Structure 1
């Protein structure tokens, strides 16, 4: 049975940023924010089901849909500029963090300290080799990495002294501790990822291109999502719960690479090994998906050949990977690029979320119940809140 492309969604949102956000939430607030990850996973499922509808039911990537639906030249140019700025610059800026996160996982696993630049370069080369594979082979790679990463984090969690009663309460009883509002939004924002809205429909469109029954293909994609997205949410919660075991033993978590090391005194060396390898897998998967998302969205919105084996597609993902690596090796500060990209993403997320819902409403292949569209509308409003939070962060940086 084909499970579709949803493993690529989990590979994208469970990265070093998610590890740091979830771990620090556990360190600062214990298990209290576990429910946020349940909510965020449901929101991601609803939103990505609409992106799957764009790719499978409408047979268009999101960038293609933008070019087709926005006929006014000025509006199209503005949308194109936002997409390129938010995707290419954003993915290039965050690629450095992905590569460094993967390298940090290796050093935590080996329990050594050394200059990571050459390890980052080696990982970038490995990522480039993997990205040369065709789409179906890439999906198999992502599936294996997601399953392996999930197993590592869950086995590592089993070694930690988790208070399972408190963990269950955190999962099922919504509460926002004092000072926790910003962290709630951060946990949702690290799960509902803007560039997945471009990556998922592009991958789904190509993966199911040989299936004439589009309704059946969409149902197949949803079955895969029903497995992989909860797995991603479970991984995020395992990281938060592991962080909760450090609550009271450390004042905060500023460096994702330090997480596995800090965990060793309370959970043992085996937990450090598992979480170190899990961080490596999370960094590697994100270092693969970020360039792919930039390539898919940029090529589609500019009208270039968006086949994964085409020269323009490979040139875009190659430039993202090279930019992330170059910034890391030279030592430039990526913050200005991150600020610019986050400003674009703050504007993009609610607009694109509403747009993919609109596209799915317009298709005539399947009929969705009214309650599902109401739920989708709620998720779009949530994306508006996340976009405002991002813009607030940008304003603080300027």
Structure 2
């Protein structure tokens, strides 16, 4: 166990980051509205996530740099460098700030399913104390500046999420033949391209590529750890994928129809399976909200560090100011009582559209001999990478046309 814990960390944080309220919400709605038919899209997302995150981890271990820092150093043309930095900065930092409120609200929804919310009303103003509590918990963990503490907390939270959602899926007793059909026979049924993009965007999260490249450098300082990092990444992403699939399976097999969030699913399962199902989903949603409330500000801080060329990380005052700003913005908007379910869904679609842009930057960097040396992409890795980028570009383009067509 001690050896296992020693070689566990960055992959778990990545897995915990993509199992947030966005994942829980999108997977719940996909299961309720389309049954098992979109499990294949989630399986494709998991494979793509492993391939791209391995590239990010390899970059971080070999160069001891984050992705934004590597991009900043390798683009020599001043204009292109400036445009790339602005694009990355706007997409990741502003994007993370925009749905940090959704992360905190997701955790609040989990608590509220089993413990009544405590809201202070003041005319047009209302203050949800659970939002403040969750934000302060996230702030306290990040303020320690201790990477090992974050590792241990996230291992515990991921185990809680895994047990919660997998047990709930088993309780619903899904039709195994339909489950396997949905997993291995691609079909969309009545599902739109935006739903498929949301599932991909909620698994292969662009900011995770930046976060992972930075975190492996915090934990491992030599090329000899590359094999360990790959193994840890694969099982951590697979575990996260099982959790996401469990949420779809639970929603599809439950028979519950009037659902907008996972908290509604928890309430809907109560008459069928009693208090246990409600508690399992509520605790899982709470853990998902907490993990994303920590990783989103952390990823944004690493992106800013790389874009602006800062040398110090977790314990730097400037670094802490970035994640604190994003965290407090999330606390503020969440405490005002917003329920941004549509915002969460939109954020996942936006992630899916942004993904090919970030993936192309990553793909370019890990193919540069001057950066990676003998550890640059192999021919097979390039073929798989090109296929994944091609699929995400195709789906992203279709989703944009779908949105424009609906205007």
Given the two structures, how large is their TM-score scaled by the length of structure 1?
0.90
1:380 to 389, 393, 397: 389
1:302 aligns with: 308
Q: Deviations over 1:24-80 (max 9, x none)?
A: 111111112112211110110001011111111222111111211122222222222
In the other structure, the counterpart of 2:111 is: 106
Is residue 346–residue 390 contact of structure 1 (8 Å, CA) maintained in 2?
no
Shift of 1:384: 2.2
Residue 220 of structure 1: aligned partner: 228
Match of 1:161 in 2: 173
> For structure 2, which runs of at least 5 residues remain unmatched after alignment?
120-126
How far residue 4 of structure 1 moved from its aligned partner, in angstroms, is: 4.4
Structure 1 residue 257 displacement after superposition: 2.7
Counterpart position of 1:177: 189
- The reply to whether residue 62 of structure 1 matches residue 73 of structure 2 is no
The CA deviation string for residues 62-104 of structure 1, in whole angstroms up to 9 with x for no partner, is 1111211122222222222222211221111111011010011
Give the aligned partner of residue 120 of structure 1.
Answer: 131
**C-alpha distance in 2, partners of 1:231/1:353?**
23
Partner residue in 1 for 2:268: 262
**CA spacing shift, 1:81–1:391, aligned 2, 3 Å:** farther
Cα deviation, residue 360, structure 1: 1.7
Aligned ranges 1:1-398 → 2 under 5 Å:
1=3, 2-110=7-115, 112-115=116-119, 117-133=128-144, 134-209=146-221, 211=222, 214=223, 216-247=224-255, 249-251=256-258, 253-330=259-336, 348-362=354-368, 363-366=372-375, 368-388=377-397, 391=400
Instruction: List gaps (5 residues or longer) in structure 1.
Output: none
Report how far residue 325 of structure 1 moved.
1.3
Contact 1:92–1:323 under 8 Å retained in 2: yes
Answer yes or no: is the 8 Å Cα contact 1:142–1:285 preserved in 2: yes
Runs of 4+ in 1 over 6 A off after TM superposition: 332-344
Deviation at 1:387, TM superposition (A): 4.2
1-structure distance, mates of 2:345, 2:165 = 31
Aligned pair count reads 391
Distance 1:250 1:143 in 2: 33
Residues 272, 120 of structure 1: alpha-carbon distance in 2 compared, 3 angstrom cutoff: same
CA root-mean-square deviation: 2.7
Q: Deviations over 1:125-165 (max 9, x none)?
A: 00000112311221222122112211111122222232223
Q: CA separation in 1, counterparts of 2:205 and 2:376? A: 26
